[in-house]
Every structure is written in structure tokens, then in C-alpha cells.
Amino acid sequence: MSEADFIKAIKANHPDLVVSAEVLRSKRVSAVVKREGFIEVAKTLRDDLGFKFPVSGGAIDFPKEEKMQMMYYLMNPESKFMLIYKVDLPRDDLKLPSLTQVWEAMSFHEREAHEMFGIEFEGHDNMIPLLLSPDWRGGHPLRKDFKGEGSEE
């Protein structure tokens, strides 16, 4: 499947849920989907389009745009096709269904994004601290407005 064919396929399967999709380079595509169809599209990616191998995940803070973006890197092992699967979240509503219900391997990546950015992953059944000490007092260290542990904001 070519990059263009993949974009056509994902848009055809979910025309109202795919916000954008673009070719980054050979065998690399980025797609942004709406939060309300996030899990539905992910299941199509896994079951119909061959993205069986979850590689990584993380978040980016865009304070000027008042949003954060959660990104997951997914691989189709047969075609070696990589997808950056993205969803935008308003900074004042950082809730997202956990992708662990589709790929269990995303657990650690979501735990990290929870600690570092404050994103709440609904349905994640093991949201215990991963990187920060249990007595951590303040904030989410990878947010652009982070001032330091224990700082008054």
C-alpha cells in the first residue's frame, strides 16, 4: 500500500473522525484524529490496516494554542510502514481514552505522559507513578509552564 492509498483508506473508513493526514516521507505518515473516535480509528488501524506493532508514545505541549497533542508511533510489521497517530487535547480538558484497550504495550507511554504532562487516560488500569518519586510535590515537568517542584504557580 502506498502512502496515498493509506491516507485514502483511513479517510474512507472514518471520514468524520480524521482531522488530517499527511505523508512525511516514504513509508511514514502522520494522522490527526478527533478524540471522540480515537479508539474506533485505532481498532481499524490494528484490525484492517495491519498496524499490529505499537512502538512508542508521547506528548507535546502547545501552550500558545491552548492544547496538548498525544502521539503514538505505530508500525505495520509486514510493510514496515510507520504511522504517527495523533490526537489534540485542549489544555483545560486533558482526558483521553487509554489506548491500552487496543495495544496493551502503550501502558508505559501513557503512564509517562500522565506524569510529565498531566493527561488523564480513562480506562488505564495501572496508572501508578513510573518516573517521578512518590513524594513528588509539584506539577508536570514537561509542560512548558512548569516552574519546578514545589513552586508556587
- Total tally of structural domains belonging to the chain: 1
Within-domain flag for 37: yes
Q: Which residue has the cell 480515537?
A: 38
Residue-range definition of the domain harbouring residue 32: 3-122
Q: What pLDDT band is residue 1 in, cutting at 50, 70 and 90?
A: confident
CATH number for the domain that contains residue 45: 3.30.460.80
Within a domain: 143: no
pLDDT surpassing 90 at residue 47:
yes
Q: What is the pLDDT of residues 65-111, one digit of tens each?
A: 999 999 999 999 999 999 999 999 999 999 999 999 999 999 999 99
Does 130 reside within a domain? no
The pLDDT value recorded for residue 152 is 46
Residue 127 lies in a domain: no
Contact 21, 9 (CB under 8 A): no
Q: What is the pTM assigned to this prediction?
A: 0.92
- CA 110-64-143 angle, 5° bins: 35
Query: Is 146 within the bounds of a domain?
Result: no
Assigned domain for 134 exists? no
Residue 142 has pLDDT above 90, yes or no: yes
Instruction: Tell me the CB-side half-sphere exposure of residue 71, using CA atoms within 13 A.
Output: 14
